[in-house]
Chains A and B, each alone.
Chain A
């Protein structure tokens, strides 16, 4: 449903991303990992139509993106700035639902439901500035989930919450998205998370970012925070992604590397 063709972007003379090619199928959860400053947010902004990339194209359902595409939601890295301080949490979550043509009652009900799912039912009447960073982040996740977009873009969405809440939110996101058949592009710098959440992990090089690895995640059975993470396949994949992120190619890692896994890395 989403295709990036030779996508590149310059800020002035600074090249932020370079010839990114990526195809995402309907219903797929794709995680993007890469070092800080490699252009992950830039990539996401290009897809959301918030910046006009200086090179290449973004295709959604085969059509080039021009302006902000329909049926898309973004969870921004700067979640607190993306919430409206003059609105309660409930109103913040309900606002985009105006696009769905729901009346106020239905909007409030849907917003309340989403807040309940992220564990904030009790804070619905609070204003963003009365909330902790982690709570604000959950409100912005609730807002995106309540909207039920076809394509959900998330930029480091679980960065400000404790480990256990983070796991709950990962599972919640996967559950809700599977239920509504959403496609997700999730940016993270957490290698573990990318392997756990993703159907696929795409690794970007350091700046200017370009795809250096595209690994399918094949893990048996439904994901489970404890079991999945102790599977051999999970541990191997995690190491592989970790190496790619650090820019260690399989050939080079024979010296100075104590892991010594002997398997091929699928790069393109």
Chain B
């Protein structure tokens, strides 16, 4: 897990700011037609304005709630399934070929099919996002369950605890750091898929729809501004989840760092 400390963060900010300044200067010096491709400062200004633009906010809210629902659904499906497949070897053996077949199918390729299946775009977006986000959570959960020390399970068994207690008190907490990593990956994947499905399917709401409309109006400043906000949201979510993991799973980091 890449650790972002103060110095690293500062360097990253300096690098990004430097690149933006160079681009701004190049634009002002006439490196491209700023009527067509706006200046960095224009785009940043527009992005800031969008945060107060009711039309954009409605779109953003729609995408955000869709994303949150998709992620919740992903967790509700993939974590129990992963626990089961991780603990019951025969079940895993039985479904492994199916997983290996379904996993590499790019979910973007499924969008046209899913559009035909759903008349309502929210369900369509959720389905596509869940399909893509499911795999990192499922695979990480299975892996995490496998990683739980057998002796930790045997200890609880020897004290007379049943399989359900062992699953709940040892397997779940032991696998939790891996599950959390899977959820973090899934969160990013789900953002990408929600916006992508909006771009492809259209509809009446969502950031993807907002971007499409901006494009048809030749408003590159709005397009890029909205895109930047999506990107920033992704970074924010990731940073929050990493911080949460570092806090909750100090024991896991201490152990893996001690082992290496």
Contact = CB atoms under 8 A, between A and B. Distances in A.
B160 A99 contact: yes
A50 B161 CA distance: 12
Interface string A43-64: 0000011100000000000000
Contacts of B156: 95-96
A85 B252 contact: yes
A72 B251 CA distance: 28
A95 B159 CA distance: 10
Contacts, number: 62
Nearest to B154: A50
A84 B169 CA distance: 10
A96 B251 contact: no
Nearest to B250: A127
A68 B251 contact: no
Contact residues on B (Cβ < 8 Å of other chain), bracket = 20 to 34
Q: Mostly helix, strand, loop or mixed at chain A's interface?
A: loop
B151 A129 contact: no
B152 interface: yes
Contacts of A76: 151, 154-155
Interface string B55-76: 0000000000000000000000
B159 A129 contact: no
Nearest to B251: A85
Nearest to A97: B159
Interface centre among B155, B156, B160, B254, by most chain A C-beta atoms within 10 angstroms, is B155
Interface in B149-197: 149, 151-152, 154-161, 169-170, 173-174, 176
A50 B155 CA distance: 9
A78 B151 CA distance: 8
Contact of B160 (A71, A85, A127, A130): A71
B36 interface: no
A70 B251 contact: no
Interface in B112-167: 149, 151-152, 154-161
B159 A147 contact: yes
B160 A84 contact: no
Given A76-B155, A82-B151, A99 B251 contact: no
Interface of B: 149, 151-152, 154-161, 169-170, 173-174, 176, 249, 251-252, 254-255, 258
Interface of A: 48-50, 68-74, 76, 78, 81-82, 84-86, 95-96, 99, 127, 129-130, 147
Given A74-B155, A85-B252, 20 more contacts: A50-B157, A68-B158, A68-B159, A68-B160, A71-B160, A72-B159, A72-B160, A73-B158, A73-B159, A76-B155, A82-B154, A85-B255, A86-B174, A86-B251, A95-B169, A99-B159, A99-B160, A99-B161, A129-B254, A129-B255
